[in-house]
């Protein structure tokens, strides 16, 4: 699916997003929630979306997605579903199933998406998430983003693991500012999210568009100043991520080196983890929990100072 060329459609945006498909009528075809079992969930989602769109303050009044904090941990929860910082084990479990659910749904729905940024780096090492990472990054074409906004916005998707042991629900929420394909005020660089409704952890979804086709043909950009050439993205490579099929940009190594430099592909000790060559896994080092506890205490002190 080709990435669509940039077009200024802000006037159309508010109408299209405002007429977004209702929660009950547009569930996932393959992973839809059981009929009659979702009244409470649908109401909770609707209430949460309404709350999220209320202005917080003058500076952040245009910001759609909100997080309970701005650090590396609190900045990776959606406020609507955040209760508390989850444990290392729960985070790992959450992100694993969330990634599988997202990739499975998009493939079954025939929507093109691929993994990006730190998520792509995790794939480079062993086809898995980096265990110290708090979020997941994916990208879609502008065309796919447009379709999501018109047909899938604010839909809830039910996931059941292969062994039937895990059941989850995810909200696919498209930012009303997704139609604005340039950075704007910088408050809405994330175009959509796939959110775990249990704890607020999420997948960031950003669209790529050819924003200056006349001046820079074949250069695709997101709203956070990441730029890609068509030949570096396409043709997409078929691979596997967290045990399910996934698309990978064609020039993945070039993309990673440009974003993280060569050291990201060779350093084997990072963020309290060490690379185990035999297991092909990043292994948590002794003392990691103590480091996490220190970070939690620092957050609490900062919170108390601010109150």
In this structure, the strands spanning 202-208 and 192-196 are antiparallel
pLDDT above 70 covers a percentage of the chain that reads: 78
| pLDDT tens for each residue of 261-304 | 999 999 999 999 999 999 999 999 987 877 777 777 776 676 66
Query: What percentage of the chain's residues is helix, strand, coil (to nearest 5)?
Result: 35, 20, 45
Is the per-residue pLDDT at 168 higher than 80?
Answer: yes
**CATH architecture of the domain covering 88-261:** 2-Layer Sandwich (3.30)
Q: Compute the average pLDDT of residues 70-78.
A: 92
Neighbours of 21 (CB within 10 A): 15
Of 77, 88, 86, residue with least CA distance to 136 = 77
Average pLDDT, the chain: 83
Q: Which residue has the tokens 């945006």?
A: 13
pLDDT band at 17; cut points 50, 70, 90: very low
Between 200 and 36, residue with greater pLDDT:
200
pLDDT above 90 covers a percentage of the chain that reads: 69
Q: Compute the average pLDDT of residues 31-45.
A: 44
Burial class (CB in 10 A: 0-12, 13-18, 19+), 304: exposed
Q: Which residue has the tokens 């691929």?
A: 114
| pLDDT tens for each residue of 135-155 | 899 999 999 999 999 999 999
Q: Compute the average pLDDT of residues 26-47.
A: 43
- pLDDT for 82: 98
Q: In the chain, which residues fall in CATH 3.30.460? A: 88-261
- pLDDT for 287: 79
Among positive and negative, which fits the CA dihedral 86, 89, 94, 96? positive
Beta bridge pairs of residue 5: 210
| pLDDT tens for each residue of 121-139 | 999 999 999 999 988 999 9
The DSSP code for 6 is P
Q: What is the pTM of this model?
A: 0.79
- pLDDT for 292: 74
- pLDDT for 302: 67
- pLDDT for 269: 96
Q: Compute the average pLDDT of residues 248-263.
A: 98
Our CA dihedral for 138, 139, 145, 149, rounded to 10 degrees, sits at: 20
pLDDT band at 10; cut points 50, 70, 90: very low
Tokens coding 166: 């895990």
Burial class (CB in 10 A: 0-12, 13-18, 19+), 156: buried
Burial class (CB in 10 A: 0-12, 13-18, 19+), 103: buried
| pLDDT tens for each residue of 80-105 | 999 999 999 999 999 999 999 999 99
């Amino acid at each position: 699916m080709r990435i669509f060329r940039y077009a200024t459609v802000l006037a159309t945006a508010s109408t299209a997003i405002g007429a977004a498909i209702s929660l009950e009528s547009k569930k996932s075809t393959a992973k839809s929630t059981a009929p009659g079992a979702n009244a409470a969930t649908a109401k909770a989602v609707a209430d949460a979306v309404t709350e999220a769109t209320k202005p917080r303050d003058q500076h952040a009044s245009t910001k759609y997605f909100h997080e309970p904090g701005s650090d590396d941990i609190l900045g990776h929860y959606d406020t609507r579903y955040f209760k508390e910082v989850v444990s290392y084990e729960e985070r790992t479990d959450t992100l694993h199933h969330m990634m599988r659910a997202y990739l499975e749904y998009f493939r079954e729905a025939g929507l093109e998406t691929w993994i990006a940024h730190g998520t792509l780096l995790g794939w480079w090492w062993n086809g898995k998430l980096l265990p110290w990472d708090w979020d997941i990054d994916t990208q879609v074409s502008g065309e796919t983003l447009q379709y999501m906004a018109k047909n899938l916005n604010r839909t809830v998707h039910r996931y059941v693991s292969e062994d039937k042991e895990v059941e989850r629900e995810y909200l696919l929420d498209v930012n009303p500012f997704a139609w604005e394909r340039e950075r704007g005020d910088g408050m809405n660089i994330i175009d959509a999210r796939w959110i775990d409704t249990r704890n607020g952890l999420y997948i960031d979804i950003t669209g790529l568009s050819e924003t200056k086709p006349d001046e820079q043909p074949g250069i695709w950009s997101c709203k956070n100043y990441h730029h890609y050439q068509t030949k570096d993205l396409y043709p997409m490579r078929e691979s596997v991520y967290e045990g399910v099929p996934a698309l990978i940009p064609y020039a993945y190594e070039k993309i990673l080196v440009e974003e993280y430099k060569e050291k990201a592909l060779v350093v084997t000790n990072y963020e309290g983890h060490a690379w185990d060559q035999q297991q092909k896994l990043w292994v948590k080092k002794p003392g990691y929990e103590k480091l996490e506890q220190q970070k939690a205490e620092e957050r609490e002190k900062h919170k108390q100072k601010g109150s």
